[in-house]
């Protein structure tokens, strides 16, 4: 119990640190201005930077930059590509999925650490991809339509799916063992025969449904998150103007992007899931989110669609006035 409380306190502390950094990010965005000479926003902050989950933004990204600056993988191994790093992440995810099948909580926590290593490799592959493409290594952007972009998505899907299935199998095994023990105890108390108690509904169906729905939520979040990153990129970043910078700085724009950061992307949902595995509360998490999670995602998507239409209308109006 002491270790559980300690973990909760640590997670709460991390949440507060991330929240403070989000506030600082908001103030940095408020200082943005449009530079007429370079026709760009200064400082240049992308929508993906704001919509990326806190663990990737504040932990994995700095670690991957520090790692590359120190080890210089891209220089030491000229043949190394982002796809190689992505595939290495899948291997680590498979190892984590095997380890999480253990009945011992300390071993399952080791699986969480291994999957976090996979998350680090996922951030590192993006950095390698930007270096190989000659892009700004510090600017978070998605290069859509490339084989690397597709490979990254496939590797993410495999890693998340395999780990989720492994946690389901481990939880089902523990749940069945507990149910069998409780059933035997009740039979001993009541004198009920085993044939009478066999009619009871297996808890595995509900457990399967909850994990399946949580997995579908992550898939839906991935599709929606990528869609709105692309939409904001096309509207606000492709051809920056004073008007697009003004929209990007608006409070409503930040709130919507921040909501996508906090729950509306698969990486953040996986981070929450990893925390629940660490605390041995994954069953309770998928039970609580199996319905309300879809409501949150679809509501956020509806709000984003309405906001996108407002942005398009505003930018067209400004364009007409400037003409």
Q: What is the full DSSP assignment across 21-55?
A: HHHHHHHHHHT-EEETTTTEEES---HHHHHS-HH
Q: What is the pTM of this model?
A: 0.90
Cα–Cα distance, 206 to 222 (Å, whole number)? 24
**47-67 burial, b for 16+ CB within 10 Å, e for fewer?**
bbbbbbbbbbbbbbbeebeee
Alpha helices in 191-281 (DSSP H): 194-197, 204-232, 242-249, 251-262, 266-278
pLDDT at residue 198, as a whole number? 46
What residues of the chain score a pLDDT lower than 50? 195-200
Indicate the SS3 state at residue 118. Answer: helix
Please give the torsion angle defined by the CA atoms of residues 241, 242, 245 and 251, in that order, rounded to the nearest 10 degrees. Answer: -150
pLDDT at residue 40, as a whole number? 83
pLDDT at residue 199, as a whole number? 45
Ordered domains of the chain (ranges, CATH): 2-187+203-322 (1.20.120.1760)
Q: What is the pLDDT of residues 18-54, one digit of tens each?
A: 999 999 999 999 999 998 888 788 888 999 999 999 9
pLDDT at residue 44, as a whole number? 82
- Which of 140, 145, 137, 130 minimizes the C-alpha distance to 82? 130
Q: SS in 3 state form for 214-234?
A: HHHHHHHHHHHHHHHHHHHHH
pLDDT at residue 202, as a whole number? 65
Indicate the SS3 state at residue 92. Answer: helix
Q: What is the pLDDT of residues 245-271, one digit of tens each?
A: 999 999 999 999 999 999 999 999 999
């Amino acid at each position: 119990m002491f270790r559980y409380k300690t973990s909760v306190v640590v997670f709460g502390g991390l949440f507060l640190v991330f929240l403070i950094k989000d506030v600082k990010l908001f103030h940095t965005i408020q200082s943005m201005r449009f530079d007429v000479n370079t026709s760009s926003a200064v400082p240049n902050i992308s929508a993906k930077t704001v919509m990326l989950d806190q663990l990737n933004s504040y932990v994995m990204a700095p670690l991957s930059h520090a790692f590359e600056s120190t080890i210089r993988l891209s220089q030491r191994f000229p043949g190394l590509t982002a796809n190689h790093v992505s595939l290495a992440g899948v291997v680590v995810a498979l190892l984590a999925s095997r380890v999480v099948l253990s009945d011992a909580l300390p071993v399952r926590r080791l699986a969480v650490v291994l999957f976090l290593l996979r998350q680090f490799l996922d951030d590192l592959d993006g950095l390698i991809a930007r270096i190989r493409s000659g892009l700004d290594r510090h600017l978070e952007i998605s290069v859509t339509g490339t084989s690397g972009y597709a490979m990254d998505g496939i590797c993410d899907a495999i890693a998340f799916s395999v780990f989720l299935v492994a946690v389901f199998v481990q939880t089902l095994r523990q749940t069945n063992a507990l149910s069998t023990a409780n059933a035997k105890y009740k039979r001993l108390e009541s004198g009920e025969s085993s044939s009478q108690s066999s009619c009871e509904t297996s808890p595995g169906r509900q457990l399967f449904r909850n994990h399946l729905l949580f997995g579908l939520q992550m898939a839906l979040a991935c599709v929606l998150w990528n869609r709105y990153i692309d939409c904001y990129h096309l509207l606000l970043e492709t051809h920056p103007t004073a008007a697009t910078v003004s929209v990007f700085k608006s409070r409503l724009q930040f709130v919507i992007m921040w909501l996508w950061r906090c729950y509306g992307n698969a990486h953040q949902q996986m981070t929450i899931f990893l925390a629940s595995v660490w605390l041995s509360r994954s069953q309770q998490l998928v039970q609580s989110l199996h319905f309300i999670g879809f409501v949150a995602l679809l509501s956020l998507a509806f709000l984003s669609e309405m906001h996108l239409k407002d942005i398009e209308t505003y930018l067209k109006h400004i364009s007409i006035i400037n003409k």
